[in-house]
């Protein structure tokens, strides 16, 4: 039985967790409905950009805050009572935007100044026309337009030595900018991750609704989800279909699903809503 007073914030990764390889979530539909009926927030937390996550949030649907670009930004719908606790005035596409780290605008300013003054050789999304982004990513035109609308991270190609890259990294550090190596790109981003996103959103709920006993449940499948799972009160591990090892979060309440993707997500939500 669920106590009336218990309030759970579900924070979930998308790819490989709520979504399967074809970006579908059908097996999770009964759980999604149940979470909505109970009035619990469902927070999407992904490396995707805001427009990419926004499209999924609208289809699910969820009207809770969204966490985009690996914790680089938090987007709170303008109509949400949580906006009262936001100290930021930045508004993008109907969302109030918080930056736990640093905005892309500032990252570009610092990185381009360093490129101009010290001759570092790199190019990134900010330098490329849409055709070049399509060629480098393999995305469709529409997807590339969404992927280009970044607010907290800048993917780059480094066209110089590893030694020079180390120098660039050292020059960025005092500005609180780090390099994160991904599959296709090196990402310039602030000193934040998906766990900061979870903590910021949970703090907003606790500030605006101080009389409710909020607890957080995080769901993830990949290495970049581990800190988010560790930052939650309870964690659901979804098996990774691409051969990644099962995550071992260091929290007291852990549920490990037997199935990957949305079927495992449904198992995990069923578990947490009935225990
Ligand atoms: Mg994932």
200 and 176 in a single domain? The answer is: no
Question: CATH number of the domain that 126 lies in?
Answer: 3.30.980.20
Shared domain for 168 and 33, answered yes or no, is no
Rounded to the nearest 10 degrees, the angle between the axes of helix 29-38 and helix 261-274 is 40
Residues β-bridged to residue 190: 177
Kindly report the pTM of this predicted structure: 0.91
Centroid of ligand 1 to alpha carbon of 42 (angstroms): 16
Distance from Cα 164 to the centre of ligand 1, integer Å: 32
Do 82 and 206 lie in one domain? The reply is yes
Based on the fold, state whether residues 150 and 108 are members of the same structural domain.
yes
Among 190, 210, 242, the domain-final residue is: 190
- The reply to whether 85 and 204 lie within a common domain is yes
- Residue 213: which domain range? 7-100+195-274
Whole-number Å distance, alpha carbon 194 to ligand 1 midpoint, is 12
Rounded to the nearest angstrom, the distance between the alpha carbon of 193 and the centre of ligand 1 is: 14
Longest pairwise C-alpha distance within the chain: 63
How many whole angstroms separate alpha carbon 245 and alpha carbon 80?
38
- Number of domains making up the chain: 2
Question: Are 186 and 156 within 8 A, CB to CB?
Answer: yes
Answer whether residue 147 is part of any domain.
Answer: yes
**Does residue 1 lie within any of the structural domains?**
no
| Of 202, 197, 102, 114, nearest in space to 153 by CA | 102
Does 245 reside within a domain? Answer: yes
Mean pLDDT over residues 64-72, rounded? 96
Distance from the CA of 53 to the center of ligand 1, in angstroms? 13
Predicted confidence (pLDDT) per residue in 229-271, tens digit: 999 999 999 998 877 789 999 999 999 999 999 999 999 999 9
Phi and psi at residue 234, to the nearest 5°: -145, 150
């Amino acid at each position: 039985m669920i106590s009336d007073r218990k309030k759970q914030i579900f924070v979930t990764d998308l790819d490989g967790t709520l979504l399967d390889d074809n970006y579908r979530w059908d097996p999770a539909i009964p759980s999604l409905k149940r979470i909505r009926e109970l009035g619990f927030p469902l927070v999407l937390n992904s490396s995707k950009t805001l427009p990419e996550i926004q499209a999924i949030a609208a289809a699910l649907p969820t009207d809770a805050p969204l966490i985009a670009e690996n914790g680089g930004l938090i987007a709170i719908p303008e109509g949400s009572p949580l906006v009262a606790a936001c100290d930021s005035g930045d508004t993008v596409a109907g969302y109030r935007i918080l930056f736990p780290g640093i905005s892309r605008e500032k990252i570009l300013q610092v990185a381009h100044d360093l490129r101009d003054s010290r001759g570092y050789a790199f190019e990134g999304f900010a330098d490329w026309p849409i055709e070049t982004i399509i060629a480098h990513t393999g995305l469709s035109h529409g997807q590339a337009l969404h992927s280009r609308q970044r607010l907290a991270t800048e993917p780059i190609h480094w066209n110089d030595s590893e030694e020079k890259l180390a120098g660039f990294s050292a020059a960025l550090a005092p500005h609180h900018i780090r390099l994160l190596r991904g599959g296709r790109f090196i990402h310039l981003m602030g000193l934040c991750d998906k766990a900061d996103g979870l903590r910021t959103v949970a703090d907003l709920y606790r500030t605006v609704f101080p009389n409710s006993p909020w607890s957080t449940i995080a769901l993830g499948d990949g290495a970049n989800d581990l800190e988010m799972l560790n930052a939650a009160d309870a964690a659901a591990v979804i098996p990774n279909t691409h051969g990644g090892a099962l995550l071992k979060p260091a929290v007291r309440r852990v549920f490990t699903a037997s199935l990957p993707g949305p079927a495992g997500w449904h198992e995990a939500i069923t578990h947490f809503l009935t225990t």
